[in-house]
Structure 1
Amino acid sequence: MPVSIVIGAQWGDEGKGKVVDLLAPQMDIVARYQGGANAGHTIKWGDETFVLHLIPSGIFHDGVTCVIGNGVVIDPAALVDEIEQIEALGYPVEGRLKISHNAHLIMPYHKALDQAKERWRDAEAIGTTGRGIGPAYVDKFARNGIRVVDLLDRDGLRKKLTAAIEEKNEILSQIYQSERLDVDAIVDEYVEFDRLIDPYVTDTAAYLQDALADGQRVLAEGAQGALLDVDHGTYPYVTSSHPTSGGCCTGLGVPPTAVDRVIGIVKAYSTRVGNGPFPTELLDETGERLRAQGHEFGATTGRPRRCGWLDLVALGYTSRLNGFTELAVTKLDVMSGLDELRVCTAYEVDGKRTERFPTDLRTLERARPVYETLPGFSGDLSDAREMGDLPAAARDYLQFVSDRVGVRITVIGTGPKREETLVA
């Protein structure tokens, strides 16, 4: 039962969308298993560029069915807008997209709470996108959430929403001094969403289980990265779900015995958006160069990303955590032109050297990177189609990473476009 999982091996923004787009033609189904519209998976082909937020990155390939699993929290307005944009490009969505009836919905009060709480935290803000992801997951686990299936019962939906909005209005107005929300307007809006998304609603867990039994190939994609996992990431500066491989099984309803391939996506350097510890962060000209050359600005928010050297302590941790069977290294071209390349191979914490990644915040904040330095390389890599086309120093850099992590590198990004990819 072949399920392949694509996982961000760092703090997100590793280029998962491009790798999924590359692998999709080999698959029957591409399925998203967690997160929400805070994700931004950028696809570039020819003169076209498109940023996907909810719909899986296989939607631009004929014959591929896309699934939004039960582990995703869905903003209906963002979903409908995305469907319309994709169809405007000439790619049909109806009949090719299936949405779990058990997926939870992001409501206007989730966004209002997310933004109000970040303002209230002020200097201690997590750095969320303000899209309501965290509050939607809070309601899910508090058993107060609104699911897609709830849209089917109009009377029940109105009653459930009215109770939820009245409660959230008290929190918004009394604690955060924010404006109250209009109950009737929200109910009417979501009844209309029901009509628009009804053709896509499916028992996706059953659909995927039947597909696997029939021998179909499934590619599962997460959002964000493993270091933002709510249990295994740099808590509390994390996302609200599980981007790790375990999240695939619960977020789609597929058994772990079905997974036979786990691909870790890692940039040739490191980036992070939002707050939280970042041991290899560069606050100098090299960091600014990586940001400029790599166009390191959030696809969803536009926020500048923090940049630094590649951290093999963190990568080794996420590799063991997820069971990577292979690595895809993206944005190798961004490193071209640097005289030397530094790679973090250990930390020093309170005078002691360690190669273990500490997941408690206070320890990680005290970690200082221990670097090894490799020769740099130069030249345009965009035409490279096999390993021999790369400069020797670039090949040595990739081999160094592979040897230290103990995982083979099978895909190398040499530019932003679909065709600027080397399959090793």
Structure 2
Amino acid sequence: MMAADLIVGIQWGDEGKGKIVDLLAQEYNIVCRYQGGHNAGHTIVVGGKKIALHLIPSGILNPKAVNIIGNGVVVSPEALIEEMKQFDDLDGRLLISDKAHLIFSYHAQIDQAKERMRGKKAIGTTGRGIGPAYADKVSRQGHRVGELKDTKKLQAKIEEYFAINEPYFKALGVEKPDSEQLRKELEFYRDALMPYVIDATNYLWDILELGEHKILLEGAQGTMLDIDHGTYPYVTSSNTIAAGACTGLGLSPKDIGKVIGIAKAYCTRVGNGPFPTEEFGLEGDKLRQQGHEFGTTTGRPRRCGWFDAVAAKYASRINGCDEMAIMKLDVLDGFEKIKVASAYEYEGDRIDYVPSDLENVTPIYIEFDGWESVKGVRKWDDLPVEAKQYIEALEELTQTKIAIISTSPDREDTIVKN
């Protein structure tokens, strides 16, 4: 019986998972997304052309790969249909779990209203309705993709949902959808999406049982944004870690094969919350500009800082990473000195673990000599000696083998170490 390999971000998201999934997907027949919504953004560059994905798995650029949106994903029908327009002939190449939950426009309205009400304590969500959709799912008020099969019944359930929660919606300033408009909207979603809807769990079980196809599992966001194990409450609304693939697709832990952790050669974060290695001065600005660190989904400038080896080691352990891919090494080109947080100072002590209140740590840095340029390098032996020393130090600090190194956004500019 075949096992499914897994790609997981081990920082605060935006690690460059899209490029690695796209690169590896050339070797896989099935690529599955297991959590998150269209708040995620994967940018892939192939032959100089930039493609932004939000819901569709990154294997879509492999014409031979089947791409599955799992039950753990929350799906905005409007966003997915718009994203599908980028591709020709998705028949047989895109499948959607009938158990995935739906995001409607009122979820986004709730999201944005709550962020406004939080004021300075806002979490920094994308405002796309992801949290409210997951909240409805957990409170058993959600609606699943498979329900689009009977739009009359689904419409009645949505209208009943609004009637039950009328005081709540009134307080937030969220208006009930117009009945006729809602009917047309649901019928449009049904016609566009139902041809792609399947029982994804049984489909994957059959594929695994046959053992004829290689499966790659893809998460969104990053480990430090996990609802349980991230920097709560400044997190996303789902389990971003490797274990989330089991609940998000209906797989058992025994179905998981190799786990590859993805990290940038530095750190970024979008939204609010603790970020120990954040750089507020010229070095942070330089990382942002050289790394083009603006959100794929929102366009927001990302907060930038140095590599946090303490957080990366924590994330590698919690995900069971067999190896790691270091992305955007070329963004560090031209820095005279490069810092890495090797430990924290916490309550007067030096620690090498991630405490629950990460806001109260101070990073303890070690410094490395910089290099002139690694851009476009495709062989380990061709890297500057300083870059090799940096990578080897990250391996030691995170206690994880680094097997893949990216030296530009393009698919081909990648070092694969034996």
The TM-score bracket by the shorter chain reads over 0.9
CA contact (8 A) 2:37 2:54 kept: yes
Please point out which of 253, 270, 275 is paired with 2:272. 275
Q: Note the residue ranges of structure 2 that are not aligned, 5 or more in a row.
A: none
CA contact (8 A) 1:169 1:181 kept: no
Distance 1:132 1:317 in 2: 29
After TM superposition, list the pairs within 5 Å mapping 1:138-153 onto structure 2: 138-153=135-150
Please tell me the root mean square deviation across aligned C-alpha atoms, in Å: 1.1
Distance 1:311 1:382 in 2: 23
Residue 209, structure 1, aligned to residue 167, structure 2: no
Distance 1:8 1:183 in 2: 41
- 2:18 aligned partner: 17
Distance 1:40 1:84 in 2: 16
CA contact (8 A) 1:228 1:234 kept: yes
CA apart distance, 1:188: 2.4
Distance 1:15 1:169 in 2: 42
Please point out which of 391, 410, 418 is paired with 2:411. 418
CA apart distance, 1:420: 1.4
After TM superposition, list the pairs within 5 Å mapping 1:96-135 onto structure 2: 96-135=93-132
Distance 2:280 2:216 in 1: 37
Any idea what the Cα deviations from partners look like across 1:64-122, whole Å, max 9, x if unmatched? 100000000000011111111222xxxx2121111001110001111110011111111
Distance 1:189 1:178 in 2: 18
**Greater displacement, 155-164 / 196-205:** 155-164
- 1:290 aligned partner: 287
Distance 1:277 1:28 in 2: 38
Any idea what the Cα deviations from partners look like across 1:338-396, whole Å, max 9, x if unmatched? 1111110111012111001012xxx31110000111111112x2331111110000000
Q: Percent identity?
A: 50
- 1:198 aligned partner: 194
- 1:73 aligned partner: 74
**Greater displacement, 316-325 / 254-263:** 254-263
- 2:134 aligned partner: 137
Please point out which of 284, 307, 310 is paired with 1:310. 307
Letter in 2 for 1:79: L
Distance 1:315 1:384 in 2: 24
Letter in 1 for 2:237: S
Residue 386, structure 1, aligned to residue 386, structure 2: no
Letter in 1 for 2:241: T
- 1:337 aligned partner: 334
Any idea what the Cα deviations from partners look like across 1:236-285, whole Å, max 9, x if unmatched? 00000011011001101111111121110000001000000011100010
Letter in 1 for 2:14: D
- 1:86 aligned partner: 87
Distance 1:289 1:374 in 2: 17
Distance 1:289 1:186 in 2: 47
CA contact (8 A) 1:272 1:306 kept: yes
CA contact (8 A) 1:109 1:168 kept: no
CA contact (8 A) 1:110 1:135 kept: yes
Residue 397, structure 1, aligned to residue 397, structure 2: no
Distance 1:8 1:249 in 2: 16
CA apart distance, 1:180: 4.3
Distance 2:165 2:96 in 1: 27
Residues 259/291 of structure 1: CA separation in 2 closer, same or farther (3 Å cut): same
SS at match of 2:86: helix
Residue 371, structure 1, aligned to residue 365, structure 2: yes
Q: Note the residue ranges of structure 1 that are not aligned, 5 or more in a row.
A: none
Residue 55, structure 1, aligned to residue 48, structure 2: no
Please point out which of 260, 265, 268 is paired with 2:262. 265
Distance 1:421 1:127 in 2: 33
Distance 2:116 2:155 in 1: 30
Letter in 1 for 2:366: E
Distance 2:111 2:376 in 1: 44
Residues 354/157 of structure 1: CA separation in 2 closer, same or farther (3 Å cut): same
CA apart distance, 1:406: 1.4
CA contact (8 A) 1:114 1:135 kept: yes
Distance 2:199 2:177 in 1: 32
SS at match of 2:72: coil
CA contact (8 A) 2:323 2:400 kept: yes
SS at match of 1:263: strand
**Greater displacement, 273-282 / 1-10:** 1-10
CA contact (8 A) 2:151 2:186 kept: no
Distance 2:153 2:182 in 1: 14
Distance 2:107 2:130 in 1: 7
SS at match of 1:245: coil
Any idea what the Cα deviations from partners look like across 1:283-311, whole Å, max 9, x if unmatched? 01000000000000000000000000100
TM-score (norm 1): 0.96
Distance 1:218 1:422 in 2: 22
Distance 1:74 1:148 in 2: 8
- 2:233 aligned partner: 236
**Greater displacement, 178-187 / 319-328:** 178-187
CA contact (8 A) 1:109 1:165 kept: no
